[in-house]
Chains A and B, each alone.
Chain A
C-alpha cells in the first residue's frame, strides 16, 4: 500500500478536528474534535509502524505501543474533561465556552476578584454574572 494514503487521510482528519476545536462552541463538541485529532495521530503511528516493521530487521513496535498509550491517555482525558465540563455546567448553568471568559482581559472587564459578599442574591448586569462565576 502506498504510504501516502494513510498519511493524507491522517492529515485530513487532523485538520477536520482542528476546525472543530476552533469553530465549535459547546465544550463537549470540542472534546469530540480533540478525539478526532488524537485518532489522526493514532492512524499515523500505526501506518508508520507497519511500514518500519517491514522495512527494518529488528523493531520495538514502538508505533503500536504508543498508539495503545495514546488511546489510554485519550480515555483518561475524556473522563477528566467531562468531569470538568459537568462541574462547570453545575456551577454556571452553561457549557458554552464562549461565555467562560473570567480570565479574559478586555475593556469591558473590571477584574475578576471583586466578588460580592452575597453570591446568591440576584443583582443586575455583569456583577451578578461575576458573582455566579466565582461561586
Chain B
C-alpha cells in the first residue's frame, strides 16, 4: 500500500502542483521548529533518566515536559499545551520534589541511583526504540498533517467536544480523582498512626545501618 502511495506521489510530481506538494527533504518552518524542540526534549528526558543527582532529575523533567508543551503548541493543540504546563510542570513536578525531600534524598551525586541491570535495561530500550522507529517510519512516511486552516485544539473546540461527546467519562474521571485523593489521605494517615505507636524503632542498629546505606 505504501508502494502505491509512493507511486501516486511520484505521479503527481511533474504536475504544476509539485511546488505545493510535500517534500521530505525540504522541511517547513514548523517542522524545523518541531525537530529542534524535540531534540531539546529528548535530551532533557535522557538526562532525567541517567543523571545521578536526584533533584537534577526532577528539574530536567521540567525541561522535558515544557518542551512537550511547546510541541503541543506547534501541533495547534493549545488547550492541551496549557493543561500540560499547569498540571505537569506546575503540580506533578512539585509533588515529585516534595517526595524527594520527604524521603531525604541525598543532595549531590548518589552513587547508587542506577541498579545493576543497567545494561539489560539499555539493551531492551534500544531494541524497542529501533524496532518501533522502523515500524512507525515505514507506516507513516507518506502521511502529512495539515496544520493550516482552523485550529484543531483550541479551547472552544476542545470544550465543545469534551462536554458534548465525552461528558460521562469526564464525570467518571472526577469520581476517580476523588477516590485517588481519599486513597492518598488514607495511606498517609495510617502510616502516621503506625509511626506514633512505635517511635523507638528507627533508633535500632539495623535502622541506622539501613539509613547509612543511602
Q: Chain A residues in contact with chain B, CB under 8 A?
A: 1-9, 11-20, 22-26, 28-29, 31-33, 35-36, 39, 42-43, 46-47, 49-51, 53-55, 59-62, 64-65, 67-69, 71-80, 82-87, 89-96, 98-99, 119-123, 128-129, 132, 135
Q: Are B210 and A94 in contact (CB under 8 A)?
A: yes
- How far is B110's CA from A40's CA once the two chains are assembled, in angstroms? 28
Q: Which chain B positions have C-beta within 8 A of A120?
A: 198, 200-201, 204
How many A-B contacts at CB < 8 Å in the complex? 303
- How far is B122's CA from A15's CA once the two chains are assembled, in angstroms? 9
Chain B, interface SS category? helix
- How far is B146's CA from A1's CA once the two chains are assembled, in angstroms? 7
- The contact size tier of chain B is 35 or more
- How far is B190's CA from A90's CA once the two chains are assembled, in angstroms? 11
Q: Which chain B positions have C-beta within 8 A of A93?
A: 202, 207, 210-211
A–B complex contacts, Cβ < 8 Å, 12 sampled: A5-B35, A15-B132, A22-B117, A26-B54, A26-B113, A29-B49, A29-B113, A50-B147, A78-B95, A82-B96, A82-B99, A122-B205
Of chain A, the residue at the smallest CB distance from B114 is: A23
Q: Are B169 and A90 in contact (CB under 8 A)?
A: no
Q: Which chain B positions have C-beta within 8 A of A84?
A: 187
Q: Chain B residues in contact with chain A, CB under 8 A?
A: 22, 24, 27-28, 30-31, 34-35, 38, 41-42, 45-46, 48-49, 54, 57-58, 61, 64-65, 68, 71-72, 74-77, 79-80, 83-84, 87-88, 91-92, 95-96, 98-100, 102-105, 110, 112-118, 120-122, 124-126, 128-129, 132-133, 136-137, 140-141, 143-147, 149, 152-153, 157-158, 161-162, 165-166, 169, 173, 176-177, 179-181, 183-184, 187-188, 190-192, 194-195, 198, 200-202, 204-207, 210-211, 213-214
